[in-house]
Amino acid sequence: MKDYPDKMTREQARRFGDDVLNIVGQIPRGRVTTYGIIAALAGWPSHARMVGRTLRYTPGAEAMPCHRVVNSVGRTAPGWAFQRTLLEREGVTFRPNGHVDMSRHLWQPQ
């Protein structure tokens, strides 16, 4: 197994999870952000996949606006067709290829 220089300790992973949930809770209605942006805001820019795992496996995360998190090109989560419906209800528009129109709806906090 490859050893990554930016591997997290348990305490760092706990803080990362808390930060991810805090950031997701701030995404405004009608806007989206990406796993990568959240990871960078949490201080671990190379851990975008861990953002997805955090949102999927943290008890109580389903109460967060997780549907507002998409990948870097605006693609919704595989296997979660209802995500698009939730976003459309908030006024998020999609391009003909089925991806979120990131030029209109991307949220990047200052």
Q: For each successive 10 residues of the chain (110 residues), what is the average pLDDT?
A: 64 95 97 97 95 92 93 95 96 98 94
Q: Is the pTM of this model over 0.85?
A: yes
Structure tokens at 38: 């959240």
DSSP annotation of 88 reads H
User: What is the model's pLDDT at position 61?
Assistant: 85
For residue 70, the surrounding DSSP H or E stretch is strand 69-70
Number of Cα atoms under 13 Å in the Cβ half of residue 11: 0
Specify the residue for token string 């109580």. Answer: 60
- Those residues whose C-beta lies under 8 Å from the C-beta of residue 26, and which sit 6 or more positions away, are 109
What is the rounded CA–CA span in Å between residue 44 and residue 58?
A: 18
User: What is the model's pLDDT at position 5?
Assistant: 52
User: What is the model's pLDDT at position 7?
Assistant: 82
